[in-house]
Amino acid sequence: MNPVISLKDVWLKYNSRREWALRGLNITIHQGEWITIIGGNGSGKSTLIRLMNGLLQPSAGEVTVCGMPVGDPNHLMEIRQKVGMVFQNVENQIVGLTVEEDTRFGLYNIGIAMDEIENRCRDVWEPLEMTDKKNDLPHYLSGGEKQKLAIAGILVMQPEVIIFDESASMLDAKCTEQMHKLMTELHSKNCTIIQVTNDVEEILHCSRLVIIHKGSIRFDGPPLEATRNPSLFKQCGLLPPFSARIRDIVAEYGKRWLDLVSM
């Protein structure tokens, strides 16, 4: 698998802060991976993903996307096209006066032909169930619909990597399920998915889990391996997923229950 994003000994400190937000991070993300990043509040998740498409520059160390350093302004446009980001605060991502205009905006900017624009918009609106809304004013959409609009605007650009920054936080159960379906479909087409979430239940969908604590990577590996170590979650201010907690309770008390029942 080809590396798409690589961080080598990356440190980051915001100008207004004395503390380091990120401390010596090393991570390589390969094409087609589905990575979920979790961590407590203020652990550095958003800072990390903002480095991955050049929105932030490291204070020390190196970040590259497909071999291009994010600090090189000559590559920034190409990097932003390769790495699409759906933000948590979708209001800031809305630029068009209608849903249709908003979805097309990025494609106009890079000079895509009109019939191709039509095709790409149709292909993303349908699975997101947004086709009927294409003439609506974005500011009158519900929170979840705005989130879907932001996702549509990124998907039409056909990026190689999509970063979802707590993008399901406003969605109801049905829309969250649609979103997972969409992510699974994108992943099956070899799109690299990076998902940041505060919901530990989400980790069961990915193939690689990264846990951040106080600006350092505390775990990087298969999610099931992490759930076998409940103290890891505790040390990082998190709870393991519900299913893992039940499994551990059954393992601890199950024999005693069986002994009681069989008495």
Ligand X SMILES: Nc1ncnc2c1ncn2[C@@H]1O[C@H](COP(=O)(O)OP(=O)(O)OP(=O)(O)O)[C@@H](O)[C@H]1O
Give the footprint of ligand X on this chain (CB under 6 A).
Answer: 14, 16-17, 21, 39, 41-47, 198
Residue 234 burial (10 A CB sphere; 0-12, 13-18, 19+): exposed
Distance CA 37, CA 203 (A): 8
Identity of the residue, 48 or 152, whose beta carbon is nearer to ligand X in the bound complex: 48
d(CA 158, CA 103): 12
127 Cβ contact partners less than 8 Å away, ≥ 6 residues apart: 178, 181, 182, 185
Q: Report how far residue 76's alpha carbon sits from residue 150's, in angstroms, rounded to the nearest whole number.
A: 21
| 46 or 103: CB nearest ligand X | 46
Cβ 199 to ligand X shortest distance, Å:
11
Pairing relation of β-strands 3-12 and 60-65?
Answer: antiparallel
Nearest approach in angstroms of CB 39 to ligand X is: 5
Amino acid identity, position 255: K
Instruction: With beta carbons less than 8 A apart as the criterion, state whether 194 and 46 touch.
Output: no
Minimum distance between the CB of residue 46 and ligand X, rounded to whole angstroms? 3
Q: Give phi and psi for 225, each to the nearest 5.
A: -65, -40
Query: Of the two residues 118 and 201, which places its CB atom closer to ligand X in the complex?
Result: 201
CB 165 to ligand X: min, Å = 8
Task: Report, in Å, the least distance between residue 12 CB and ligand X.
Answer: 8
Q: How far is the CB of 190 from ligand X (least distance, A)?
A: 27
Q: Counting Cβ atoms within 10 Å, is residue 85 exposed (0-12), middle (13-18) or buried (19+)?
A: buried
We find the least distance from the C-beta atom of residue 63 to ligand X, in angstroms, to be 15
Give the residue from 162, 94, 151 showing the smallest Cα distance to 127: 151
- Rg, C-alpha atoms of the chain: 20
149 touches 103 (CB < 8 A) = yes
Measured from the CB atom, is 14 or 257 closer to ligand X? 14
Tokens of 107: 């494609």
**Which is nearer to ligand X, 36 or 46 (by Cβ)?**
46
Q: Is 47 or 64 the residue whose CB approaches ligand X more closely?
A: 47
CB-nearer residue toward ligand X: 125 or 219: 219
